[in-house]
Structure 1
Amino acid sequence: MNLSWNRKAAALLLVLPIAACSGQAGSPPGLLPADEKPAQAPDVAAEASPETDKTPAAPAQPSGGEDTSDAAAGGAFAELTGETQVLADNLDTPWEIQFDGDTVYLTLRGGSIVKLADGRQTLQPVALNPGVLEAGEGGLLGLALAPDFADSRAAYVYHTYGKGNEMRNRVIRIEEEPSGKSWTETATVLDDIPGARVHDGGRIAFGPDGMLYVTTGDAQDDGSAQDTGSVAGKILRMTPEGEVPSDNPIEGSYVYSYGHRNSQGIDWLENGTMYASEHGPSGSSGGHDEMNEIKPGANYGWPDVLGGETGDGLTPPLYHTGEDALAPSGIAATPDGTLLVANLRGESLTEFDPATGEMREVWSGGGRIRDAAVHEGRIYILTNNTDGRGSPQSGDDKLLILQ
C-alpha cells in the first residue's frame, strides 16, 4: 500500500495548528470543566482497563475464514509509533468527530457540542425542542456539517427524545450562533424514527452526491429491519431538506438499504463506493459484527441470516467477526482505499481492506473507541469509556491524534 499520506501525517504533527488540551486540576473524569478552557501541553492517553463484560477476542477473520493475525507489517499504518497526542479531554460520552478546516466539532450524548478552535475547548449548548434524551445508547449522536457550512453555519444532527413512554429519534438542522458559543434548531428533516436503549443507530453523513445518509437501528424490533415500510434497521437517503430523492431505489421511500441490525459507521472511498459497519448480536449467538459494501436497494439479511449466511436476494457481508465481537462504530476511509474502524467492545482501531476482506488491529490502549477520522493526513480517534460500559481513566474521554 502507498504510505506517502502517513509520512505527511508525521510531518504535520510537528506543526499541528490546534494545541493539545488537558483537563483543569480537580476536574472529575468525564466532565468538561467550565465553558471554555485554554490549550495546554500534549499528554499521552492513559491505558484503559478492559470492560467488565468483555471477553478476549480471537484474531479477526474475513468471511472466507483466512487468518490475518500475522498481518502486523505493511499497510497504511506501518509507521505508527503507538504514541498519541491529546487534543481534548474530560469529554462526557462523546460520539462524533467533524471538521471545518482546522476547527473540530464533537457531539456529547448529553446534548452539547464541543468546539476546538484557536487553541480553546468550548462547550456549546444545543437548544432543541423536544430536548435530548440520553438513555442507553441514545442521546445527541451523529453530526454532519452542511457542505456550505463556512457560509451557512448549518449542520445536521441525529438525536434521541422521549415520546410518552417510548424513545424516538429525529434528524434536524441546527445553526451555530454568530457568537460561536451555542447552536439553535432551525428545521426538522425527519422525525419519529424508532428508538430504543440499544440498537439506536445514529450515524449521519453527506455522500459524494450531496445527499444526507442516516443509519437507524432496529430499535429492538428485529422484524422491522425487513419491513421496507419502516425506517428502522435501515440506511436512509434524503435531500438536505428532508425530501425523498427521485432516484432512491424504492419509489417514495427514504430507504436506501435494509436488513440492518445496528449500523453506526458509514463512509465512501475516493472511488465513490459506500461502506458501513454493523453490530452483530454479541450474546449467546456470538459476535458476527460486519463490514458491508452498501448498494442501493440491497437487503443485508438481518434478522433472517447471521454472519456469512446468505439466501436468495440477500447481500452477504464482505467481512464478519464470527463468534467474536468487536462492536464496530464509526469508520473512516483512507487514501489507500482502506477503512479505519473504531471498535467499542474490541477496544481497538482496526484497518479493513475491502480488496482482500482482511481486518487487522493497528492501535489499542485507550479503551473503547467510538469514532475515527482521517483529516489532512492525520488520524483521529474518539474514546468512549464514560458511557457506563467502559473503565474510565483520568481525563477520559479524549480526542486523540495517533503518531
Structure 2
Amino acid sequence: MKFLRNTALAFWAAGLPMAACAQAPALTTFPVGTTTVTASALTTGLDHVWELVWGPDNFLWMTERGGRISRVNPATGQVQLLLSVPDVTPTGESGLLGMALHPDFATTPHVFVVYNYTDAGSLKEKVVRYTYSAAAGSLTAPLVLLGNIPATTTHSGSRLLILPDRTLLMTTGDAQLQPEAQNRASLNGKILRLNLDGTVPADNPTAGSLVYTLGHRNAQGLVRLPDGRLYSSEHGPSNDDEINKIEPNRNYGWPNVEGACNLPSEAAFCAANNVREPLTTWTPTIAPAGLTYYDHPAIPGWRGSLLLATLKNQQLVQLPLNAAGDAITARPVFLTSAFGRLRAICVSPEGRVYLGSSNGGSDRIITLENRAFVASATRAANAFAFELFPNPARRQATLRQPLANARVTVRDLLGRAVLTLQGVGPTAVLDLAGLRAGSYSVQVEGAAGSATRQLLVE
C-alpha cells in the first residue's frame, strides 16, 4: 500500500501546472457579498463546450459537442486535444456530451464519455470508456459500457457522475418519447446507475435494472455534495425548469407532473407514485445546464451553495442550500448576458470557478476568481494544532481542536473532499466507514485560522 500511495503522490505532483507568468486581463468584475470576483478568459476559439471536469492531474478536462476531448492547462489556457471521437453525430443538440474520470485515475486512467451516434439511420446514445496515456497524450481502447439508447436531436441529457462506491450515474432525456419517462423498462427519461464495467449494481433499487430514478424530461446537471447528497438540474417544457434533490427509486413526475404537485391530477399522481417535488422551479424557463457545488473560503458568499449555468437566460445562478439540504433559500444571479449561453461549470481545489460557453464557433472557458484571496496554507501565523486519534484509524477517528465553530474537511490524495463537517465543536467523531484504505488529509478551518494533518485509514 505504501508503494501505491507514493505512486499516486508522484502522479499528483507531476500533474501540477506551473503558475501563470501573468494574470489574464479582466473581462468584468462583480461583487459577491464583500468579495470582488474577476472574470477572465482562460481559452477561446472553442465550439460548444459541453463538459468541464477538474481532473486529478490538476488540469481541466473538456468535451465539445462536435466530438473533441481535451485537457486544458488552467495556468496557460493551452488546449491539448486527446481525441476526436470518430462516430459522434453532432446534429441539433446531439453530439458529445458528459464526461467523468475514474476516481483512482493515477492507477486506473479511465475516461467515461456519453455521446450520440447513428446506427442504421437512427440516432442513439451510448456510454464509452477510454484509457488515457499521459506519455502519448491520447485516449485509446474504447469500450462500450451501455448503448442502443433511443435518442433525438433534442432531449438527450446527459451528465455522468461517479460515486464513491465506484458506480456511475447517467442522466438520460426522454428523447421526445414522453411516456417512456414513466416506463421502468425504458432507459429514457431516467437517471441510470451502472458499475464501471457496464453491469447492473446488485443494490440498485430494482434487481437487474439500471434505473436509479425515473420521471425526468431532460436533466443536464448532476452533482454530489461531500456529504453524499445528490442534485440535478432539469429542463421543463415552456414552464417549470427544475432543481431536484435526487433520491434512489424516487419518481420525478414527468410527463404527468410539471414542477410541483399543485394541480388536482398532479397531486393524485404524486401521492400514488412516490414523486419527489423539485426544490425550486422557473416559469418562464431559463434552460438550466451544468450544476456544481461551491464550498471554498476564496468566495465566502458562495459557500454552501449550488452554482448553476444557464443557457436561455445566459446567467450564473447561485442556489444557497439550507442546513438540511432540502430547500433553496434564494436565487441571486450573476453575469447576465456577459458571455452568452453557459452550459458547463466546475470548481478547482483553489476555489476558482470555470464556466464553458455554448454559443457555437467562438466559445471560451471563463475563469471566475477572487484575486485577493490568499490560500490558508500561506497563513502560517494563524495556524493552530489539533489532535486526531487513533491514527492510523479504521472505521472512525476522534478529532479534538480549540475552535467553537469549525469546518472539517477530509480530502483524498487527489485533493478531493470526501467528507465535510460544519459547525464542529471542540470534539468530533469522523465516520470513516465509507472511505477506502489509504492516506488522507484532515483540514480544520475557523475564525482563528486553518490547520491540516495527515490521516491513514487502514
In the alignment, which of 253, 256, 259 is matched to residue 304 of structure 1?
256
**2:281 is the alignment partner of 1:326:** no
Of structures 1 and 2, the one scoring higher in RCO (CA 8 A, sep 6+) is 1
Structure 2 residue identity aligned to 1:306: E
In the alignment, which of 176, 179, 200 is matched to residue 223 of structure 1?
179
C-alpha distance in 2 between matches for 1:378 and 1:87: 15
In the alignment, which of 344, 357, 368 is matched to residue 328 of structure 2?
357
Alignment map for 1:1-400 (pairs within 5 Å): 17=17, 42-45=24-27, 77-99=32-54, 100-117=56-73, 119=76, 121-126=78-83, 128=85, 131-282=87-238, 287-309=239-261, 310=267, 311-312=270-271, 313=273, 314-321=275-282, 323-335=283-295, 336-355=303-322, 356-364=327-335, 365-387=338-360, 396-400=363-367
C-alpha deviation, 1:89, in angstroms:
1.4
Instruction: For residue 186 of structure 1, give the secondary structure of its aligned residue in structure 2.
Output: strand
Instruction: For residue 191 of structure 2, give the secondary structure of its aligned residue in structure 1.
Output: strand
C-alpha distance in 2 between matches for 1:79 and 1:159: 41
The 1:352–1:46 alpha-carbon spacing in structure 2 relative to 1, beyond 3 Å, is: closer
The equivalent residue for 2:375 is: none
C-alpha deviation, 1:80, in angstroms:
4.3
Q: CA contact under 8 A between 2:41 and 2:364: conserved in structure 1? A: no
Gaps (5+ residues) in structure 1? 1-15, 21-38, 48-71
Deviating beyond 4 angstroms after TM superposition, the runs of 4 or more aligned structure 1 residues are: 16-20
C-alpha deviation, 1:40, in angstroms:
7.9
Q: Once the two structures are superposed, what CA deviation does each residue of 1:249-289 show, in whole Å capped at 9, x if it has no partner?
A: 1111000000000001111122211111111013xxxx310
Structure 2 residue identity aligned to 1:319: T
Structure 1, 296-305 or 202-211: larger mean CA deviation: 202-211
C-alpha deviation, 1:125, in angstroms:
4.5
C-alpha distance in 1 between matches for 2:212 and 2:365: 33
Q: CA contact under 8 A between 2:89 and 2:117: conserved in structure 1? A: yes
C-alpha distance in 2 between matches for 1:44 and 1:325: 30
Structure 2 residue identity aligned to 1:370: R
C-alpha distance in 2 between matches for 1:324 and 1:142: 26
Gaps (5+ residues) in structure 2? 1-15, 262-266, 296-302, 371-458
Q: TM-score of the superposition, structure 2-length normalised?
A: 0.67
The equivalent residue for 1:11 is: none
C-alpha deviation, 1:358, in angstroms:
3.0
Q: Once the two structures are superposed, what CA deviation does each residue of 1:118-149 show, in whole Å capped at 9, x if it has no partner?
A: 736234252656x1111111111111011121
Instruction: For residue 331 of structure 2, give the secondary structure of its aligned residue in structure 1.
Output: strand
Q: Once the two structures are superposed, what CA deviation does each residue of 1:342-388 show, in whole Å capped at 9, x if it has no partner?
A: 1111211111133242342342122211122122142323232434x
Q: CA contact under 8 A between 1:269 and 1:337: conserved in structure 2? A: no
Q: TM-score of the superposition, structure 1-length normalised?
A: 0.76
Q: CA contact under 8 A between 2:47 and 2:358: conserved in structure 1? A: no
Instruction: For residue 106 of structure 2, give the secondary structure of its aligned residue in structure 1.
Output: helix
The equivalent residue for 2:382 is: none
Q: CA contact under 8 A between 2:343 and 2:355: conserved in structure 1? A: yes
Structure 2 residue identity aligned to 1:190: L
C-alpha distance in 1 between matches for 2:93 and 2:19: 31
The 1:41–1:235 alpha-carbon spacing in structure 2 relative to 1, beyond 3 Å, is: same
Greater share of strand residues, 1 or 2?
Answer: 2
C-alpha deviation, 1:176, in angstroms:
2.0
Q: Once the two structures are superposed, what CA deviation does each residue of 1:291-325 show, in whole Å capped at 9, x if it has no partner?
A: 1111111000000011112422221111111x211
C-alpha distance in 1 between matches for 2:195 and 2:214: 19
Instruction: For residue 167 of structure 1, give the secondary structure of its aligned residue in structure 2.
Output: strand
Aligned identity (percent) is 34
C-alpha distance in 2 between matches for 1:46 and 1:90: 19
Q: Once the two structures are superposed, what CA deviation does each residue of 1:49-92 show, in whole Å capped at 9, x if it has no partner?
A: xxxxxxxxxxxxxxxxxxxxxxx99xxx4244242122221111
Instruction: For residue 81 of structure 1, give the secondary structure of its aligned residue in structure 2.
Output: strand
Structure 1, 249-258 or 86-95: larger mean CA deviation: 86-95
Structure 1 residue identity aligned to 2:78: Q
C-alpha deviation, 1:218, in angstroms:
0.3
